[in-house]
Chains A and B, each alone.
Chain A
Amino acid sequence: MENHIHKAHRPAQSGSKAEKKGKGKQQQAFNEKAFAPKSGRRAERQGRRNVERDQTRLHVPLVNRTPDDEPPPVIVAIVGPPGVGKTTLLKSLVRRYAKQTLHEVKGPVTVISGKRRRLTFIECNNDLNSMIDIGKVADLVLLMIDGSYGFEMETFEFLNILQSHGFPKVIGVLSHLDLIKKQATLSATKKALKKRFWTEIYQGAKLFYLSGVLNGRYPDTEILNLSRFISVMKFRPLVFRNSHPYLLADRLEDLTPREIIRASKGKCDRTVTLYGYLRGTNLRLSTKVHVPGVGDMDIKSITILGDPCPLPDADAEKRRKLSEKKKLLVHAPMSDVGGVVYDKDAVWVNVPGSFTRGNTDVYQGEGEQMVMDLQDVDATLEDTVARRQIRLLGSSSNHLTVDAPGILSGDEDEDQGSGMDDDGVGDEAESEEGGEEDNLSEDGDESPNDDLPGITDRGRFGLRMVSRPTHNLASTSEHKGGRVEYADSDSDIGHLDQDDWEGGVMYPDGDNAQDIPSDDEESDGAPAWKAGLAAKAEASFENSSRRRSRKDWISLIYSSALTPEQIAQGDSNASHEISSDDADDDFFRIRPATLVNGDDLDMTKELVSPDSLKEWEDEALLDSIRALFITGEQAAPEKDTAEENEYEDSAGGDFEDLEAEPSQPPAVEDPEAKRTADLAAKKELLKRKFDEQYDDPEDAKIDFYDEKKEEINRQLQLNRAEFEGIHAEARALVEGYRPGSYVRIELSNVPCEMIENFDPSYPIILGGLLPAEERFGYIQVRIKRHRWFAKTLKTNDPLIFSLGWRRFQSVPIYSLDDHSIRMRMLKYTPEHMHCYATFYGPVALPNSGFCAFNSLNGETTAFRVSATGVVLDIDRSAKIVKKIKLTGVPFKIYKNTAFIKDMFNSALEVAKFEGANVKTVSGIRGQVKKALTKPDGAFRATFEDKVLMSDIIFLRAWYSIQPRKYYNPVTSLLLSDKAHWAGMRLTGQVRREEGLKTPLNVNSHYRPVERSARRFNTLKVPKKLQAALPYASKPKLMKPQGRRTYIQKRAVVLEPEEKKAIALLQQIRALRKDQLARRKEKQHERKEVHRKKVEKEEANKDEKEKEKRKDYMRAAGMKSKREADLEEGRSRKKRRT
Chain B
Amino acid sequence: MAQTGSLLHFSDHQYLRQRLVLSILSGKAVRIDKIRSDDKNPGLRDYEVSLLRLLEKATNGTVIEISVTGTAILLKPGIIAGGSVSHDCPLSRSVGYFLEPLIMLAPFAKRPFQLSLRGITTDDNDLSADLVRTVTLPHLQLFGISDGLELRIKKRGSPPEGGGEVQFLCPVVKQVKTLNFVEPGKIKRIRGIAHAVRVNPQFSNRMIDASRSVLNRYIPDIYLYSDVYKGEESGKSPGYALSLLAESTTSAIQCSEAVSKPGVTPEEIALTATHTLLSEIRRGGCVDRKHQNLVLLMMVLGSEDVGRCRMCEPSARTIQFLRDIKSFFGTSFKIVPAEPSDPSSTQLLFSCYGTGYINVNRSLA
Contact = CB atoms under 8 A, between A and B. Distances in A.
Nearest to B322: A557
Given A554-B333, A630-B186, A655-B282, A602 B16 contact: yes
B275 interface: yes
A632 interface: yes
B152 interface: no
Given A476-B332, A613-B275, A734-B332, A633 B186 contact: yes
A554 B330 contact: no
B5, B180, B278, B365 — most chain A CB neighbours (10 Å):
B365
Given A243-B356, A557-B335, A718-B306, A606 B343 contact: no
A736 B278 contact: no
Interface stretch (B119-127, B162-170, B202-210, B231-239): B119-127
Interface in A944-982: none
Interface in B299-321: 303-306, 308, 313-320
A658 B345 CA distance: 7
B319 A557 contact: yes
Contacts of A204: none
Contacts of A598: 36, 39-41
B219 A568 contact: no
A1112 interface: no
Interface stretch (B7-15, B83-91, B137-145, B191-199): B7-15
Contacts of B257: 605
B38 A568 contact: no
Contact of A661 (B313, B343, B365): B343
Contacts of A873: 110, 363-365
B125 A605 contact: yes
B276 A613 contact: yes
A677 to B, nearest CB: 15
Interface stretch (A157-165, A278-286, A1101-1109, A1126-1134): A278-286
Given A281-B304, A546-B343, A604-B125, A874 B361 contact: yes
Contact of B334 (A65, A554, A568, A604): A554
B358 A845 contact: yes
Contacts of A549: 343
Interface in A586-639: 596, 598, 600-606, 608, 610, 612-613, 616, 622, 625-626, 628-633
Contact of B282 (A282, A625, A718, A780): A625
Nearest to A568: B316
Interface stretch (A769-777, A918-926, A1010-1018, A1022-1030): A769-777
Given A628-B186, A715-B305, A780-B365, A601 B125 contact: yes
A658 B317 CA distance: 24
A557 B289 CA distance: 17
A605 B127 contact: yes
Contacts of B201: none
Interface stretch (B65-73, B153-161, B346-354): B346-354
Contacts of B112: none
Contacts of A631: 218-220
B276 A628 contact: no
Given A616-B275, A723-B334, A772-B27, A777 B79 contact: yes
B219 A629 contact: yes
Contacts of B342: 662-663
A658 B339 CA distance: 13
A845 B278 contact: no
Interface in B238-267: 249, 257
Contacts of A771: 26-28, 329, 355, 357
Given A281-B356, A554-B334, A602-B15, A662 B343 contact: yes
A659 interface: yes
Interface in A829-843: 836, 843
Contacts of A871: 364
Nearest to B186: A630
A243 B96 contact: no
A480 B335 CA distance: 12
Interface residues of A, number: 90
A1113 B258 CA distance: 92
B148 interface: no
Given A558-B326, A605-B290, A616-B275, A772 B319 contact: no
Contact of A628 (B27, B187, B217, B290): B187
Interface string A553-571: 1101110000111011101
B15, B41, B218, B320 — most chain A CB neighbours (10 Å):
B218
A610 B258 CA distance: 12
Given A550-B337, A554-B334, A663 B344 contact: yes
A596 B344 contact: no
Interface in B21-49: 26-28, 36, 38-41
A735 interface: yes
A876 B56 CA distance: 13
A776 B278 CA distance: 50
B344 A659 contact: yes
A967 B178 CA distance: 36
B214 to A, nearest CB: 7
Nearest to B16: A602
A498 interface: no
A347 to B, nearest CB: 36
B214 A846 contact: no
A553 B363 contact: no
Contacts of B278: 616, 622, 625
Given A554-B333, A715-B178, A604 B290 contact: yes
Contacts of B212: none
A608 B218 contact: no
Contacts of B4: 775
B281 A846 contact: no
Given A564-B323, A567-B316, A777-B79, A735 B343 contact: no
Nearest to A613: B275
Nearest to B320: A564
A628 B329 CA distance: 36
B264 to A, nearest CB: 10
A843 B343 contact: no
Contact of A568 (B79, B188, B319): B319
A877 interface: yes
A733 interface: yes
Given A568-B314, A662-B343, A772 B41 contact: no
A65 B343 contact: no
B290 A846 contact: no
B360 A774 contact: no
A898 B173 CA distance: 55
Nearest to B358: A845
Interface of B: 1, 3-6, 12-17, 26-28, 36, 38-41, 60-61, 78-79, 96-97, 100, 110, 124-127, 178, 180, 186-188, 214, 217-220, 249, 257, 271-272, 274-276, 278-279, 281-282, 284, 289-290, 303-306, 308, 313-320, 322-323, 326, 329-337, 340, 342-346, 348, 351-353, 355-358, 360-365
24 contacts: A281-B356, A287-B330, A553-B348, A563-B316, A564-B317, A604-B100, A604-B127, A604-B317, A616-B279, A626-B217, A630-B187, A662-B343, A663-B342, A663-B344, A719-B306, A722-B308, A771-B28, A771-B357, A774-B3, A774-B27, A780-B363, A846-B360, A871-B364, A876-B79
User: Closest 10 CB pairs between A and B?
Assistant: A876-B61, A286-B330, A873-B363, A564-B319, A735-B353, A568-B316, A603-B125, A553-B335, A776-B3, A564-B316
Interface of A: 63, 65, 243, 281-282, 284-287, 476, 478, 480, 546-547, 549-550, 553-554, 556-558, 563-565, 567-569, 571, 596, 598, 600-606, 608, 610, 612-613, 616, 622, 625-626, 628-633, 655, 658-663, 715-716, 718-719, 722-723, 733-736, 770-772, 774-777, 780, 782, 836, 843, 845-847, 870-877
Given A598-B40, A772-B358, 12 more contacts: A281-B304, A554-B332, A564-B323, A616-B275, A629-B187, A633-B186, A771-B28, A771-B329, A776-B1, A846-B360, A871-B364, A875-B110
